Amino acid sequence: MASSQPIKSPMGSQSQNQRSSQQGLKYPSNGKTIYHRPLNRSRTQELSQASFAYLFGEMVSYAQKRVTGIQDLEKRLNNQGHPIGLKLLDLLLYREPARSQTRPLHIIALLQFITTTLWRHLFSRPADALEKSSNPDTPEEYMISDNEPLVNQYISVPKEMNQLNCAAYVAGIVEGCCDGAGFPAKVTAHSVGKGEEGELWPGKTVFLVKFQDEVVEREAFLGR
């Protein structure tokens, strides 16, 4: 890395000469701010999975340093994902074609947006299943399943922590998306693979989306 070009740091050398001319605001040396950059991204631009896996591994160990238990760790991962969901909701709605550029008004519309548009953006494929809880006592629960979460691909969970699923990070993204759209929810990630030999999807993860009561209430009201 040391031999590569000097990285354009926002606090770099240009800050000194800029400070005198513009108080409090530092412009990049080429004069281009985030407002000069387009919001649309070409479809082929993808990130390296290796670098993501490396970064994500670091994120997990960073979160792990300051926690007391597995639940706490999952909560931290969830919190890291939350703002991403909020931002992606707006960005992806903007990128939708003008005709379908509408805010999701119903739970189903929102979940379909998440399982198709959001999933495609993050993992370049849709989620594997979207189900509603069949239990009549919990009409507010929905399940999104992913057979092989991309974030877990290079994560091996030690035996004594088998409750942990690092896809809690993705759950946080989903939760951010739901919260942002006005459907406050709790989203948790659960491993459903039984760890048996010859299993088709040993890493299968279910994201349990539990909407708050007011969402279900509004849904019933709007449905009429």
Partner 1 sequence: MSYYFAIIGTSDNPIFEYEFGTAKAGGDGVPRFPEQARHMNQFIVNASLDNVEDVQWGGGQMYLKKIDRYYNNYISAFITGSNTKFLLLHHPTTPSTTSTRASTSIPANPTSPQTEEAIKQFFVEVYENWLKTVMNPFYTQGMRIDSPVFRGRVAAAGRKYL
Applying CB under 8 A, which of residues 8, 58, 83, 217 lies at the interface with partner 1?
83
The verdict on 220 binding partner 1 (CB under 8 A) reads no
Per rule CB under 8 A, is residue 35 in the interface with partner 1?
yes
- Residue 224 touches partner 1, criterion: CB under 8 A: no
Give the number of other Cβ atoms within 10 Å of residue 168's Cβ.
Answer: 29
Rounded Cα–Cα distance for residues 143 and 203 (Å): 16
Least separation in angstroms between residue 207's CB and partner 1 is: 20
* Spatial distance between the Cα atoms of 198 and 210, rounded to a whole number of angstroms: 32
Query: Checking phi first, is residue 194 left (phi over 0); if not, alpha (psi -120 to 50) or beta?
Result: alpha
Residues 169-198 that bind partner 1 (CB under 8 A): 180-182
Rg (CA), the chain: 21
By C-beta, is 12 or 182 nearer to partner 1? 182
Shortest Å distance, C-beta 174 to partner 1: 14
Give yes or no for residue 12 binding partner 1 (CB under 8 A). Answer: no
Considering only residues 50 to 79 of the shown chain, the ones binding partner 1 according to CB under 8 A are: none
Closest CA to 111 of 222, 209, 216: 209
Q: Distances from the Cα of 43 to the Cαs of 46, 73, 121, in angstroms? A: 8, 34, 9
Q: Which is nearer to partner 1, 12 or 83 (CB)?
A: 83
- Select the residue interacting with partner 1 from 37, 66, 99, 159 (CB under 8 A): 37
Among 26, 75, 87, 186, binds partner 1 (CB under 8 A): 87
CA 202 vs CA 56, 83, 153, 165: distances in Å: 20, 29, 11, 13
Binding residues (CB under 8 A) for partner 1: these are 25, 33-35, 37, 39, 83, 86-87, 89-91, 93-94, 101-105, 109, 180-182, 218, 222
